[in-house]
Amino acid sequence: MDLKGKIIVITGAANGIGRAMAIRFAAEGAKKIICADIDESGVNETANKISGIAHKFDVSRESDISALIEITEKEVGPIDLYCSNAGISIAGGVEVDDKSWQKIHQIGGVTIGDNVEIGACSTIDRGAIENTELGDGVKLDNHVQIAHNACVGDNTVMAAYSGLAGSAKIGKNCIIGAGALITENKIIPDGSLVMGVPGKVVREVDDQAIMGLRSSALHYQENMLRFKAGLNVVDTL
């Protein structure tokens, strides 16, 4: 991306990576850099180094995020690049109160296609920004982990204890072997057999196997319709 003449917002700009980005972007010719951080002294120092604009800002407050964007666009102009560099750290591991967990904003969701089967004790994490997605006909065995923003293509089968790390993508008509772990941001092509840790494509899935995956999806659909037709309303009063 050509940064010349761009308006850029950088959060967490008081030091470290945020400050380094601000200095580099200024050297690349950015029109104006807005530096935001909860550390007022540090962010002022960064802004002074590059003739930028400093804002005291708390990433854990949604109102601060909205105000930062609104003020920037009103006083400087439309934002060309927003670098969400700031983060927060919470002590105590999982033993923290609900209010602390709420600071970690998750605005994505989970989308699940038709004829999907999810086994016992499997987990699908909601997306942090974009949705986590399961396509049509996906089959997850027991104890499968799907991390945030990951995508599983149509008619793909994941065997027990396999896992998909954040933002990884599996294509259509794939078979993920038992215990295989696909690493973060990895892209698995359509029609692949994946095995091992870390998960690697060992061969392509042949046409006969693909037809079997599709037939399996239709089988579960037929069972669903059959079971639904046999249900009766029971008066529990």
Average pLDDT over residues 223-234: 67
pLDDT in tens, 139-164: 998 999 999 899 999 999 999 999 99
145 strand-pairing partners: 123, 163
Average pLDDT over residues 155-177: 92
Average pLDDT over residues 14-34: 93
88: number of Cβ within 10 Å: 12
pLDDT in tens, 59-99: 878 888 889 999 999 999 999 999 988 866 665 555 666 66
Band the pLDDT of 192: cuts 50, 70, 90: very high
Specify whether 200 is located in the same domain as 136: yes
How many structural domains is the chain composed of?
A: 2
- The answer to whether residue 220 scores a pLDDT higher than 60 is no
Cβ atoms of residues 220 and 202 within 8 Å: no
Average pLDDT over residues 202-231: 68
Specify whether 79 is located in the same domain as 123: no
Tally helices (H) and strands (E) across the chain: 5, 19
pLDDT of residue 233: 66
pLDDT of residue 129: 73
Q: Is 55 a catalytic residue?
A: no
pLDDT of residue 128: 77
pLDDT of residue 48: 96
Expressed as residue numbers, the domain containing 194 is 110-223
Specify whether 116 is located in the same domain as 55: no
What pTM did the predictor assign? 0.53
Q: Which of 55, 105, 143, 148 is catalytic?
A: 148
Kindly report the CATH number assigned to the domain that includes residue 165.
2.160.10.10
